[in-house]
Amino acid sequence: MVATSSSDGEAGTQWAALAGVTAALAMFGAAQGLSYPLFTLLMQRQGMSPALIGLSAAMMPVGLILSASFVPAAVRLVGARNLAVGCSLAGALCFLGIGYLQDWVAWFIIRFLVGVVINPLYVLGEVWALSLAPPSRRGRVMGVFNTLLGAGYAAGPLILITVGTSGWPPFVAAISGFALCALILRAVSSKLTGFEDDGQIQGGIVGFARLAPALLLAVLVAAAVQQSTYALIPVFGTGYGLPEARLAALVTALSAGNILLQIPLGLMAERFGGRAMIVFCALATAACALLLPLVITTPLVWPVLVVMGAVGYGVYTMALVELGSRFKGTALVAGNAAFALMWGAGGIVGPPGAGSLMQVIGPLGLPAVIAGLDALLIAFALYRSAKRKNS
């Protein structure tokens, strides 16, 4: 993996590479964050229905899911560095094609391809961050990594406000983000190996699933909870008569917690361990969800949502910390690819499931689904921990 010499020079190189990888993924995140509202606005301008707009948005996660199982093989075939740089450039070309064609039918195909090419960036960015982080500081490193990635996503819409949605400027901004990602990764990843086939794990994602099913369930729950909350918290607030302006602020509070509190959670992971922190974050998320109906019309809703946004995504951050402490080499690549697959699956099953229950029992369906998913995760994590101790 990464050279582990104790010399100050190599330590400095390691931190520089870590900073570079984090900066590259932040650029990539900004380009992605810009793309979602841009597509929605452009398709609305073309007279597309909400159903078609939603279906178009689904093409990207479909690409993510379908490509996940191929990432470990692609790393072995061309090397991690070449794959990451190539995918960054391919992402830039996809947005060049989107801007040139201005055809919503073609966008369906290209957005699927975007999902395919960005998946290795997600996987390898996290693999490199986990590998470069000193074990004693892995929690805070992943907290910083996810904070800056989240800040990149948040910057995307701000960039769109600055450059506007007409003509080439928004597409040039997205293309530039992917191109900068490629340049930075090319510059900082030369010291990293390609995660060659070291024989640590057989069967790729399937083989990894046998080793760490609790980690995969944690990612599935984190994705389902986060995406359900972001998509349906405005619907939940509407059920309690909140005005439209306040509904948008509910989502902002979730995002603020996600960005501001990942580093403190990472520091806690260094002290208590990733496995214990997964259970803690799941418990805290369930508690916040159950409090929502009680505080939604009071000022207490804001701190509850900030904490909920942090610990809900914190389940994923803690799963990453645990992944990095237990695996390396090809097993780490397979694990991150499996994480990407489970994240996509959680996004597909979470919002529809929560929305359906809300349709049956009203606003309480959202906190019921969130608390139920987290309770399932806690029970399974404790079961796996007890089984491991007894074996």
In this predicted structure, what is the pLDDT of residue 50?
64
Choose the final residue of a domain: 197, 213, 244. Answer: 197
pLDDT-above-90 percentage for the chain:
23
The per-residue pLDDT of the chain, averaged, comes to 83
- State residue 3's pLDDT score: 42
Percent of the chain residues past pLDDT 70, beyond the cut: 91
Question: Is 8 a domain residue?
Answer: no
pLDDT for 203 equals 56
Q: Which position has the token pair 């603020």? A: 256
Question: Are residues 319 and 211 both part of a single domain?
Answer: yes
- Choice between 260 and 48, residue whose per-residue pLDDT is larger: 260
Handedness of CA 214, 272, 333, 91 (dihedral sign): positive
SS3 content of the chain, % helix, strand, coil (to 5): 85, 0, 15
Instruction: Give residues with Cβ within 8 angstroms of 124, minimum separation 6.
Output: 75, 80, 83, 84, 333, 336
If you search the block for the tokens 């009203």, which residue do you land on? 362
Average pLDDT over residues 72-88: 86
Q: What is the pLDDT of residue 132?
A: 81
- The domain of 141 spans 14-197
Instruction: Quote the number of domains for the chain.
Output: 2
The Cα–Cα gap between 52 and 142 comes to: 36
Residue 2 covered by a domain: no
Let me know whether 163 and 138 are in one domain: yes
Q: Is residue 69 part of a domain?
A: yes
Say yes or no: 29 and 48 in one domain: yes
343 and 260 inside one domain = yes
C-alpha 61/C-alpha 42 separation (Å) is: 20
Other Cβ atoms less than 10 A from the Cβ of 4: the count is 9
For tokens 């780490």, name the residue.
Answer: 332
Band of residue 191 on the pLDDT scale cut at 50, 70, 90 = low
On whether both 111 and 249 belong to a single domain, the answer is no
Boundary of a domain, candidates 149, 178, 197: 197
Helices (H) and strands (E) in the chain, counts: 15, 0
Of 197, 228, 246, which residue sits at a domain end?
197
Do 251 and 142 have their domain in common? no
For 298-307, give one letter per residue: b (16+ CB within 10 A) or e. Answer: eeebbebbbb
pLDDT by residue (tens digit) across 265-277? 989 998 998 899 9
CATH number at 311 reads 1.20.1250.20
What CA–CA distance (Å, rounded) separates 232 from 356?
A: 11
User: What are the Cα distances from residue 346, in Å, to 17, 77, 92?
Assistant: 31, 29, 27
Distance separating alpha carbons of residues 355 and 364, to the nearest angstrom: 11
Confirm whether 82 is domain-assigned. Answer: yes
Phi-psi region of 30 (alpha: psi -120 to 50; beta: other; left: phi over 0): alpha
